[in-house]
Every structure is written in structure tokens, then in C-alpha cells.
Structure 1
Amino acid sequence: MNETTDRYAYLDSPIGGLRVHSDGVGVTEIDFDAHRDGGETRDVVLDAAVSQLREYFAGERTTFDVPLGPQKGSAFQRSVWKALCDIPYGQTATYGELAAELELGPFGARAVGSANASNPIPIIVPCHRVIGANGTLTGYAGGLERKQTLLDLEQGPALF
């Protein structure tokens, strides 16, 4: 990433510190395990993203509308990331279901998994909503505990 155009803001969240990056046009990355370092440089995209993420974690937001601008990713990866954005809040899809939707054939689930793992904008591009064929949690760049926390957040409080 070009250091002269990279801006970032720090956010405390229920899944730990997040660093949200922007190029001034769109969100380019979200990092887990971030620490406040005093080097934050704000812009309108970051302000909107941080605000929307706070609302999401407070249970007040189910969709994001900040502009996205990932700086990496092949055309295939970007097509998978776009499909991730179509998984509704509070729902999940399997790698196989996404592969079928993208017409990838019998080995497409692995390709979807690989692209999912490379998602540079987790949470906003909801890769945590993808689960294994048998309904179990599988791989997440932020760790399975974070994935479970995000899914639990989206399920809302238990009635009993």
C-alpha cells in the first residue's frame, strides 16, 4: 500500500482493536489485533466507516454503505467478495453454495475458501457469514472466536 495515500483510524470493538484503512475514496483494508498508535489520519470515508462499524457492533446497523476500494485481489477474488456482500445480515452460506452461485463447478468451494481468506475488508465484506457444508465454523482470518462473536451478534439476543 502506498504509505503517502494510506489513511487509517482505530476502533475499539467487541472483537478487539480494528484499524480501518482508506485511500480517501474507499475503505481499502480492515486489520484485526490493531493497537492505537497515535498515527491516525482521518478522512470522510474513515469517519463514515468507523461510525457504521460502531452502529453495527451496537446492533443498530445491518448493512454498510461506505465506498470500498480494495487495493489487492484478482478479478476472481473480487467476484467472490462481491458475492459475500449479498449474504444477508444474520444468515450464513456455505462455501459450496457460493461456488454454485458463481458457477464454479465441483471444486469451486476450495477456490471460494481461498478468496474468502484473502478478503482485505472483513466485517464490511462479511466473510464471517461463510460456513462449512456441515454447518460448522471453518477458517477465519481473524480466528474462529471472532467469527463466532460476529455471527452471534447478528443473531441477536437469545429469547430465553
Structure 2
Amino acid sequence: MVKNTKASVALIVQACRHIEQAETAPTLEQLAASANLSPWYFHRLFKEVVGVTPKQYATRHQTQRFHASLNSESTVTEAIYNAGFGSSSRAYDKSRDRLAMTPSDYRKAAEGLTIRYAIASCFLGWVIVAVTDRGICAIEFGDNPESLPALVQARFSKAHLREGGAELSSLIESVISFIEVPGSAIELPLDIQGTAFQERVWNALRSVPPGSKVSYTDIACQIGSPKAVRAVAQACAANKLAVIVPCHRVVRSDGQLSGYRWGVERKRLLLQHESELLEE
């Protein structure tokens, strides 16, 4: 572990300000040189202090700047370049799949936001897909359609929840297709906010291929926090995007199924379904 001192933390805070104020993201070498550290040591120190890498921090800041600029710039192109992306394809590539609900919205339980939803059936029962203007904020399973809106409302207690119309048909069809064939590509914007640690866990989960299983310890080691096994389990429990963030692929160290927010039986069915798809 890199040794954290007040001086080293101050260096990283200064680097964060550098990233935030730069028109284009500075390179690791530039940041390390400004701190008078080697790139290797600076990278380790930055991740230790901030919880994410310098590149991840820069990407997150650019995405936030992009969304903010969309509300103030006269054209989307101006917003893209003012955010420092350099091209529209890069901006949409980085922002499309961000976990993007702002922390202030999340802390306020989405107060003032309108969340639309659509409900459909699948082989796991009933599924609700809830969306804001930014993207999908929740995917939940249930045994009957009547109970599902309350699950979303509980997640975002101060949001205005209303049933969507035909405009959500293709969206929920895409989600159901992904549930049925999880190895397929999915091009859907996500709008969900977590802590830096939760995002690291969720990103690690999305790297686990269909048909595979990992333990909480495996994920903890993968994100560089081998002692944070319990926190990994809590991050899995906090997941709002069933299947897209595949927390069902996490099992106990002995291979036995552990808890699942939407029921252990659904977890078993999902793992069995993915295993069968691999055998076809």
C-alpha cells in the first residue's frame, strides 16, 4: 500500500484540480511530472487517495462537464468540445455508458426528477425498467406487475414516477433481449449513481462473462481492495440494474449461492440459463 501523508494527499488534490481545470485531460506523465513523482508511484498514490485512477477521474469529470454544457451551450457540438472530448464520437462513447445520475440528485432521493417506467414479462417473472431523461436508472424483478412500481419508488422516494408509453417499448424489448441472451451487445445509456467504491465493484462485475461465477473475494482482489469483501457484498446488494450489472454471478467462496436482491431462485435460474446458452 502506498503511504499516505498530508503532503501526498495535498499533491493528489492539486492533481485533481489540474484535471478539472484542463481543457483536455492531462496525461499520466504530465500529472506525475507536476507532482515530481514517477508515473508508477503517482498512479498508485492517486488511486489510493481518490479511489479511482487518474484516467477514470478525468473521464468522469469530462462527462459531468458535457452534461452540464448541454444545458447551457447553444449547440451539442459546442458542449462536446467545451467538455474536452475532442469529437462527438468520443463524447457519446464515454457518456453513454456512465453511471451518471448526479450525486446531488441521488442524495435528494431524485427529488423533482420524473422517472418513467415500463413493465413486461420474461422467463424470470415480471420486470420493470425505469428511466430518467439520462437513461436507465433501475431494473427490478418481481412476481407480479402491480408490485414493481413501488420497488422503484422506494429507491427514489421523492421522484415523480409515471408509466411510460410506446416510447419505452423498444427500450424494454432491448433489456429483455439482453436478459435472455446476456452475451449480446447492449447499447443503452445508464443513469445510476454510486460511491466511487460501488462503481469500481459494478465495473468489475460487468467484466465477468456470462456463464462464469466469481466470489466476493475475487471481486475485492480485482479492484485492488482484497480486505473489502464485506463492502463488495454490500455494493452488490446496492445494485439497481439487475442483469446489466450482473451481481448474480457472484457466489460464496465455496461455490454455494448467496443472497440475491431479487431472490435466490432467480439467481439460480439466471446462472443455469447462462450455462445452457454456453452449451448450445
- State the secondary structure of the residue aligned to 1:135: coil
Q: Which letter does structure 1 place at the counterpart of 2:189?
A: P
* 1:16 is the counterpart of 2:125: yes
Q: TM-score, normalised by structure 2?
A: 0.50
What does 1:14-93 correspond to in 2, within 5 Å? 14-33=123-142, 35=145, 40-42=163-165, 46-59=168-181, 61-70=183-192, 72-93=193-214
RMSD, aligned CA: 2.4
- State the secondary structure of the residue aligned to 1:6: strand
Runs of 5+ unmatched residues, structure 1: none
Q: Would you tell me which structure has more helix in proportion to its own residues?
A: 2
Q: TM-score, normalised by structure 1?
A: 0.84
**Which gives a bigger RCO, structure 1 or 2 (Cα 8 Å, sep 6+)?**
1
* 1:104 is the counterpart of 2:213: no
Q: Which letter does structure 2 place at the counterpart of 1:133?
A: S
Could you say which structure has the larger radius of gyration? Answer: 2
How many Å separate the matches in 2 of 1:16 and 1:42?
Answer: 21
| 1:48 CA displacement | 4.7
- State the secondary structure of the residue aligned to 1:90: coil
How many Å separate the matches in 1 of 2:277 and 2:207?
Answer: 23
Runs of 5+ unmatched residues, structure 2: 1-109, 150-161
How many Å separate the matches in 2 of 1:111 and 1:58?
Answer: 29
Q: Contact 1:26 / 1:68 at 8 angstroms: preserved in 2?
A: yes
Q: Contact 1:57 / 1:153 at 8 angstroms: preserved in 2?
A: no
How many residues were matched structurally?
A: 155
Consecutive aligned runs of 4 or more in structure 1 exceeding 6 Å deviation: none
* 1:117 is the counterpart of 2:226: no
* 1:5 is the counterpart of 2:125: no
Cα deviation digits, residues 110-146 of structure 1 (max 9, x gap): 1100100000111111110111101111010011000
